């Protein structure tokens, strides 16, 4: 992996020492790649992004924000010619993952409300304080959330969502609605810093305080867009009652700070909720339905519900007949109905050779890895050498060894405990890997045996992959 090797070299150049460990971090919807470096005394994050303009925006914005004491990561080192940089490690818990854990215990409680209030109070500072002295030349791809930017987002929704779920629509009438919506939104002005992607995955939870990342797409725009992004984030499932209380808190702060009339802010706010969620559905369609990346499809159902609730509420101050009709008809589409069906937990069980590396969980970077190399190796027995762990003589050999059943029972107990928890939490994938020296005998045997045990559990699908058995 060339990015990993590049960052490893730059880490040595930057710190003057070698790292103790380097770990690839899960990727989201962008092309950026992140790695956590463990060195002597601290962890730092190395980032590689081939888009030079995004890097320049992120570095420049970060330096500006930190000069105002806004909670964003510290820049340790930047290598512009190599498209990489090193920043402060803010941990692994963002607002989305924290909310998912809270759901299992306390739900959307007062602690969560206070965290959201803090986040929105800091948002007001991003929008006002940070606007002063901001180098607009850094903004990429546009300096403003202007007509072209809005039309891009709306076409993203049209082509990457409506087309992919086969929703029928009249192109001419839909384009007319898009232009009516954009004309209306542009009336709100472009006078404040627009974070652009102010949502739960980009707010880190560190020492019970919010920290902020991924603002390299920021530009000047209307203030209504960012609170709409946070409160109507389809992934986060903010209760409507909480949304109403939080937007009132934000409006009081923002309007007092800027001497903006509350009625003017409220007039345009529902329209920005609409355009933001339409953009989000375009992203979910592209990443989930087209690229088949896990996690994105799950947000389509709540996103459509948000839009239909907004249309039915009568809060929009404009008429969008074609768009409204399309949104109301989407839940009746067969493709949408398929998405509503609950997805079974898929348990992928892999055997592998350590000589070829450990399998990587592409969904969330987790799962179980069991090292079978401490057990007797059938490959050292002449009459078994040309067989594998799926052959009866190898199975009989394994079952004759005293430690094998205990090893399998222990692995089975741990995996089944996680399987039950994953089903309860509506998770959709789990990777279990068994590794041995050659990946032909012990690891293959255990993968097959565990799969056989798991097949009796309702609500899951199992697949067995022998990655190196035939190499």
pLDDT for position 426 = 61
Task: Spell out the domain ranges in the chain.
Answer: 2-88, 95-340, 345-466
- Model pTM greater than 0.85? no
Quick one: pLDDT at residue 207? 93
Strand partners, 368: 432
The closest alpha carbon to 421, from 324, 327, 345, 317, belongs to 345
Sign of CA dihedral 451, 455, 460, 461: positive
Contact between residue 36 and residue 45 where contact means Cβ atoms under 8 Å apart: yes
Contacts of 195 (CB under 8 A, 6+ apart): 123, 126, 127, 212, 215, 218, 226, 229
Task: Return the percentage of the chain with pLDDT > 70, whole number.
Answer: 96
pLDDT at residue number 308: 94
Q: Are 194 and 220 contacting, i.e. CB atoms less than 8 angstroms apart?
A: yes
DSSP symbols for 117-180? HHHHHHHHHHHTGGGTT--GGG-SS-SB--HHHHHHHHHHHIIIIITTTT----HHHHHHHHHH
Residue count of the chain: 471
94 burial type by CB count under 10 A (0-12 exposed, 13-18 middle, 19+ buried): buried
DSSP per residue, 249-282: HHHHHHHHHHT--HHHHHHHHHHHHHHHHHHHHH
Q: Is the pLDDT of residue 465 over 80?
A: yes
Measured between alpha carbons, how far is 342 from 119 in angstroms, rounded to an integer? 33
Per-residue model confidence as pLDDT tens digits over 110-125: 999 999 999 999 999 9
Letter string b/e over residues 235-261, b meaning 16 or more CB atoms within 10 A of that residue's CB: bbebeeeebeebbebbbebbbeeeebe
pLDDT of residue 193: 98
pLDDT of residue 83: 96
The 10s digit of each residue's pLDDT in 194-232 is 999 999 999 999 999 999 999 999 999 999 999 999 999
Q: State how far the Cα of 336 lies from the Cα of 165, in Å rounded to an integer.
A: 7
The CATH number given to 2-88 is 3.30.200.20
Q: Is the pLDDT of residue 365 over 60?
A: no
User: What local confidence, expressed as pLDDT, does residue 29 receive?
Assistant: 62
Please give the distance of CA 31 from its chain centroid, rounded to a whole number.
Answer: 12
What tokens appear for 48 in the block? Answer: 């590689």
Question: What letter would DSSP give residue 35?
Answer: E
Angle at 395 between CA 392 and CA 400, to 5 degrees: 125
Chain-wide mean pLDDT for the chain?
92
pLDDT at 250 over 80: yes
**What pairs with residue 351 in β-bridges?**
434, 466
Contact assessment for residue 95 and residue 198, using Cβ atoms and an 8 Å cutoff: no
- Would you identify the CATH topology of the domain 95-340? Aminoglycoside 3'-phosphotransferase; Chain: A, domain 2 (3.90.1200)
Q: What are the residues whose beta carbons fall under 8 Å from the beta carbon of 338, sequence distance 6 or more?
A: none
CB-CB neighbours of 374 under 10 Å: 10
List phi, psi (to 5°) of 432.
-125, 125
Predicted pLDDT at 24: 85
- Strand 33-38 to strand 368-371: parallel, antiparallel, or no bridges (unpaired)? unpaired
2-88 and 95-340 have identical folds: no
55: preceding bond cis by omega (within 30 degrees): no
User: How far is 122 from 16, CA to CA, in rounded Å?
Assistant: 36
Determine contact, residues 280/156, Cβ cutoff 8 Å.
no
Kindly tell me if the per-residue pLDDT of 271 is higher than 90.
yes
């Amino acid at each position: 992996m060339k990015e990993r090797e590049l960052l490893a070299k730059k880490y040595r150049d930057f710190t003057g020492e070698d790292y103790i460990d380097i770990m690839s971090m899960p990727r989201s919807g962008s092309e950026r790649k992140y790695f956590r470096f463990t060195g002597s005394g601290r962890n730092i994050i190395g980032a590689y992004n081939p888009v030079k303009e995004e890097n320049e925006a992120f570095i420049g914005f970060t330096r500006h924000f930190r000069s105002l004491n806004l909670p964003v990561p510290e820049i340790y080192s930047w290598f512009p010619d190599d498209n990489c940089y090193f920043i402060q490690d803010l941990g692994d818990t963002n607002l989305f993952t924290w909310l998912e854990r809270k759901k299992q215990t306390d739900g959307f409680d007062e602690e969560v409300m206070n965290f959201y209030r803090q986040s929105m109070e800091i948002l007001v500072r991003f929008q006002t304080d940070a606007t002063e002295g901001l180098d607009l030349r850094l903004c990429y791809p546009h300096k403003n959330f202007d007509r072209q930017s809005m039309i891009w987002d709306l076409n993203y929704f049209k082509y990457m969502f409506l087309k992919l779920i086969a929703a029928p629509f009249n192109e001419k009438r839909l384009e007319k609605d898009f232009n009516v919506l954009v004309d209306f939104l542009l009336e709100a002005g472009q006078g404040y810093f627009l974070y652009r992607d102010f949502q739960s995955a980009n707010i880190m939870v560190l020492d019970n305080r919010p920290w902020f990342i991924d603002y390299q797409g920021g530009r000047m725009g209307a203030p209504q867009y960012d609170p709409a992004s946070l409160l109507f984030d389809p992934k986060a499932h903010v209760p409507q009652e909480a949304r109403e209380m939080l937007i009132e808190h934000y409006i009081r702060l923002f309007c007092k700070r800027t001497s903006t009339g509350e009625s003017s802010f409220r007039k345009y706010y529902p329209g920005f909720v609409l355009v933001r969620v339409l953009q989000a559905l375009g992203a979910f369609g592209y990443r989930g339905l087209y690229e088949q990346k896990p996690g994105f499809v799950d947000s389509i159902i709540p996103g459509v519900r948000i839009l239909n609730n907004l249309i039915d509420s009568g809060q929009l101050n404009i008429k969008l007949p074609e768009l409204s009709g399309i949104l109301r008809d989407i839940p009746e589409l067969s493709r949408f109905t398929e998405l509503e069906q609950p997805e079974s937990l898929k348990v992928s069980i892999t055997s592998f050779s350590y000589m070829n590396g450990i399998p990587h969980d592409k969904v969330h970077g987790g799962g179980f890895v069991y090292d079978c190399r401490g057990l007797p190796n059938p490959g050292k027995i002449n009459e078994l050498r040309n067989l594998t762990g799926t052959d009866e003589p190898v199975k009989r050999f394994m079952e004759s060894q005293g430690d094998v059943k205990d090893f399998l029972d222990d692995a089975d107990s741990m995996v089944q405990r996680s399987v039950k928890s994953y089903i309860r939490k509506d998770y959709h994938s789990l990777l279990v890997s068994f590794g041995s020296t050659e990946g032909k005998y012990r690891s293959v045997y255990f993968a097959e045996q565990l799969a056989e045990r798991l097949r009796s559990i309702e609500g899951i699908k199992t697949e067995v992959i022998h990655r190196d058995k035939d190499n």
